[in-house]
């Protein structure tokens, strides 16, 4: 009998521990669950001390540093998903990832940067973590964030428990 390994266990096996979810910074919620769909809004990367990763690709941020920010943003996004769902085990499929990179007009490595976020979803969910994606560059982001990552997930709907 094959034992089911949770997405959290997959992440732990590659050295990823999910942090506490990031708070909302305005009149919005970090995630919306409706039926079997979870929309997780824009998440950014943080350093191990919790400080926000800032800067602009092609100016003061290297591709490697931006990839670290994308990886962290995806981890932060999964922390929000877990907090919303109770467990990442409810995720059936990552369907779409949207990455927005703060970059100079000459910067052309957007996909390489956002690939680091995509890798996290595959590390957590295997083939179910493979998704459609859009990676774009913009001239600025709030608070000079390096990037933001958002995702759409299909989840097992929460079952209602009825009393006998």
User: Mean pLDDT over residues 117-133, rounded?
Assistant: 97
User: Mean pLDDT over residues 20-29, rounded?
Assistant: 89
Rounded CA separation 120/75 (Å): 7
- Flag whether pLDDT at 128 surpasses 60: yes
Q: Which pLDDT score is estimated for 81?
A: 98
Taking residue 117's Cβ as centre, other Cβ atoms within 10 Å add up to 29
Tokens matching residue 93: 């499929």
Q: How does 146-155 read in b/e, with b if 16+ C-beta sit within 10 Å?
A: bbbbbbbbbb
Average pLDDT, the chain: 93
Q: Return the DSSP state at 88.
A: G
Residue with structure tokens 């779409």? 96
Query: Residue 163: which pLDDT band, with cuts at 50, 70 and 90?
Result: very low
Q: How do residues 73-112 score in pLDDT, each as one tens digit? A: 999 999 999 999 999 999 999 999 999 999 999 999 999 9
Tokens matching residue 126: 């295997």
Q: Which pLDDT score is estimated for 28?
A: 92
Residue 101's contacts (CB-CB under 8 Å, 6 or more residues apart) are 57, 66, 107, 110, 113, 114, 135, 136, 137, 138, 146, 147
Give the number of C-alpha atoms closer than 13 A to the C-alpha of residue 62, restricted to the C-beta side: 3
- Flag whether pLDDT at 135 surpasses 90: yes
Q: Which residue has the higher pLDDT, 28 or 161?
A: 28
- Flag whether pLDDT at 1 surpasses 50: no
Q: Which pLDDT score is estimated for 3?
A: 52
Q: Which pLDDT score is estimated for 38?
A: 98
Phi, psi dihedrals of residue 61, rounded to the nearest 5°? -130, 130
Contact present, 103 and 137 (Cβ < 8 Å)? yes
Query: Residue 164: which pLDDT band, with cuts at 50, 70 and 90?
Result: very low
- Flag whether pLDDT at 160 surpasses 80: no
List of domains in the chain: 37-155 (3.30.1330.40)
């Amino acid at each position: 009998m094959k034992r089911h390994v949770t997405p959290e266990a997959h992440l732990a096996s590659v050295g990823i521990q999910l942090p506490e979810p990031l708070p909302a910074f305005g009149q919005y919620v970090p995630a919306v669950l409706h039926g079997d769909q979870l929309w997780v809004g824009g998440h950014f990367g943080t350093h191990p001390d919790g400080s926000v990763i800032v800067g602009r690709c092609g100016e003061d941020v290297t591709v490697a540093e931006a990839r670290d920010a994308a990886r962290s943003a995806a981890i932060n996004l999964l922390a929000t998903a877990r907090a919303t769902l109770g467990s990442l085990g409810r995720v059936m499929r990552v369907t779409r990832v949207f990455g927005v990179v703060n970059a100079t007009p000459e910067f052309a490595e957007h996909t390489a940067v956002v690939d680091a976020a995509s890798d996290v979803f595959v590390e957590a969910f295997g083939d179910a973590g493979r998704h459609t994606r859009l990676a774009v560059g913009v001239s600025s982001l709030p608070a000079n964030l390096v990037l933001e990552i958002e995702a759409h997930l299909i989840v097992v709907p929460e079952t209602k428990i009825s009393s006998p």
